[in-house]
Chain A
Amino acid sequence: MKSLRIILPALALLLLTPGCILTSGQIMINFDLPDVDATSPTGLTGQQIDLNTESDYKDHKDQLKDIVDFAVLGTFNNTGGEDVDVEVYMTRDLTTYTDETTVKTNGILLWGPFKVPVSGSKSIDWDGSAALFSAAGKKAILDEAKGDGSFTLYVVGKAGTYAFNVKDGILALVIDVGI
């Protein structure tokens, strides 16, 4: 009985400590992405993201444990002359690259490829998008989320000559946090 008097309060304290396995949750945060217009492999525009603009992220940043789900959502329109496999790269810093080679050299593949047929328009759902995140991309974005929270996204084609745009783009993250 004496040991129970010690063990039970200790167990209760452990379970109720903020950030422990019991007091945790999965919270969704999302960011509207400006429309992307990739006119060519040398006509790219980066999207600078600052997670600190999202209150849920700011509120739980200190207790952030993991990112358990991602999605890049939106409508992809292929305006080029051939099919395009769309990919999203990220650079850890705020950058302003404009060409594919520099992006792929300095960035990390985050998401993709997502095929959009020539002259076609495709929207992607949450389930389909979540499956396209790479393990390296997940680690990179988690590192950034635990760091300064700012990074840059680039939407590019996997290969070839391409032109496409992305409308109503959204980056959705589900973060695993202590509460």
Chain B
Amino acid sequence: MKRTLAFTMIGLALAAGAASAAPIGVGVGAYGGVSYPIVQDDVSSGSVFGIRVPVKLIPLVTVEPYYLSSALGDGEVTLGGVKYTRAGFDNKGFGLNAMLGQVTGMGFHFYPLVGVGSHKLTRSGTPDIKETAYNFGLGFGIGPAPKISIQVRGELNMVVTGDTSRKFANATAGLTYDLLP
């Protein structure tokens, strides 16, 4: 995983160099929302928040280092008339998303995204799960002012655990401020 991220970062640096003639856009954003576990009986929905740094390398491609932190709710089940709870995971991770199309700027924008990251799921009574995660989703950017945009996204965050995965549907909204140009 670390090697994949390292190669990705090197690729980004090279791409950034190649695109140095074009105006590079850099922003910074914060977001928050809700994370829903998908087909997981032992955890329930919780909050998610994080930061993103969108970097527009070429006109229609934006890459975005991100940090995500979510606090999932406890799993609950009633067995034999007794209600039991299982602590929900804390999901923390960082990685890189790539978006096709314009993300920030004035007006209304729509873009698909894919990404890869390294995420760690922790909770009491269970060894930590630190694995590669993949992100897929759709985003909407609404720019009411020249350097400010509202970002609304729906994405699938999939933390691979061997032959299976823990999947979370994240619905988020956030604000992004364009630092460059």
Contacts and interface: CB of A to CB of B under 8 A. Distances in A.
Nearest to B38: A25
B135 to A, nearest CB: 13
20 contacts: A19-B163, A21-B165, A22-B165, A24-B163, A25-B39, A26-B43, A26-B164, A27-B41, A28-B41, A28-B77, A68-B161, A69-B86, A71-B84, A126-B84, A126-B85, A130-B86, A170-B79, A172-B79, A174-B41, A176-B161
Interface of A: 19-22, 24-28, 30, 32, 65-66, 68-69, 71, 73, 125-131, 168, 170, 172, 174, 176-179
B38 to A, nearest CB: 7
**Nearest 9 pairs of A and B residues by beta carbon:** A25-B39, A130-B125, A24-B164, A131-B125, A28-B41, A21-B165, A126-B86, A26-B40, A126-B84
B77 A21 contact: no
Contacts of A30: 77, 79
Contacts of A65: 162-164
B161 A168 contact: no
A69 B158 CA distance: 19
Nearest to A32: B80
A28 B39 CA distance: 10
A58 to B, nearest CB: 17
Question: From DSSP, what is the main secondary structure of chain B's interface residues?
Answer: strand
Contacts of B164: 21, 24-26, 65-66, 176-178
B166 interface: yes
B160 interface: yes
A135 B132 CA distance: 23
Interface in B11-48: 38-43
Interface residues of B, number: 28
A148 B163 CA distance: 22
A125 B79 CA distance: 12
A128 to B, nearest CB: 7
B80 A69 contact: no
Given A26-B39, A130-B126, A176-B164, A21 B158 contact: yes
Nearest to B76: A126
Contacts of A24: 39, 163-165
A30 B162 CA distance: 24
Given A21-B158, A126-B84, A69 B77 contact: no
B126 A69 contact: yes
B80 A170 contact: yes
Contacts of A131: 124-126
Nearest to B84: A126
B112 to A, nearest CB: 13
B87 interface: yes
Contact of A127 (B39, B87, B161): B87
A66 B162 contact: yes
